[in-house]
Amino acid sequence: MRSLRLMLAATAVTLVVAGAATAASPPTPPTEPTKGPCAYTPLEDTTYSKIVPLPRDPHHTPDRGKVRVVIKTSQGDIPMVLERSMAPCTVQSFQHLAKQSFYDDTICHRLTTYPTLSVLQCGDPLGTGWGDPGYSYHDELPTWLDPWPDDPTGERKIYPRGTLAMANAGPDTNGSQFFLVYKDSRLRPHYNVFGRITPEGMRVLDRIAAGGVDPADPGAPLDGLPAIDVEVDRVRPGL
């Protein structure tokens, strides 16, 4: 999925200690990939990264069971169910980022309202479409999606309403950005599907989608910032 990438000026973080302002030391980026089956790999270019430690990468990635999480937003809670069997490394990474408070105080930066692409995209610490966690990992692509009707190529599939999937910038570039599907959408099966949104969460998502794209956004009226601001307070385990 296309991401908007904008250059941002770096800003120094300062700490005041005993009345003196001192530059805070940035976290040290990891340099070596993990050695387990997920192979979380540090990015060479961390210009747009919010650095976090790499996830654990055990010899056997948990691939059974469900994980309930809640995205707590300014527009209401969006409960979701993560499915390990669909994409175990993706679920593991998402849980890791949530535990690291990576998603806290971010925004959902993109709403698409095309007839064939209807998603809300979140998970970027910069809020521009550029941001990432400083690492990537391999694709876990869905093989079970139904074909999109009347697609002569047969390549495009239905990402059904309620789907939770990872955004990316090409093969094996999964990071932190994800999208929530509020209407059946037509996409090539190039995006890891790792869960679903509950009916309660869909009611919140529908309300956000109904607001449309911010008319001040250059991508308006079909693709850009949501007109209804969506601030992610935190992502936490659900009940």
Provide the strand spans (E) within 12-167: 14-17, 20-23, 41-42, 66-73, 76-83, 106-107, 110-112, 119-122, 135-136, 157-159, 163-166
226 contacts 112 by C-beta, under 8 angstroms? no
Is residue 181 assigned to a domain? yes
Is residue 6 assigned to a domain? no
Is residue 231 assigned to a domain? yes
Is residue 129 assigned to a domain? yes
- Per residue in 224-235, pLDDT tens? 999 999 999 999
- Per residue in 111-145, pLDDT tens? 999 999 999 999 999 999 999 999 999 999 999 99
Confidence of residue 218 (pLDDT cuts 50, 70, 90): confident
Is residue 175 assigned to a domain? yes
% of the chain with per-residue pLDDT over 70 = 88
Task: Give the CATH number for residue 144.
Answer: 2.40.100.10
81 contacts 196 by C-beta, under 8 angstroms? yes
Tell me the DSSP string of 96-120: HHHHTTTTTTEE--EEE-BTTB-EE
Is residue 5 assigned to a domain? no
pTM recorded for the entire structure: 0.88
Per the structure, the count of domains in the chain is: 1
Is residue 42 assigned to a domain? yes
Is residue 65 assigned to a domain? yes
Which residue range is the domain that position 104 belongs to? 14-237
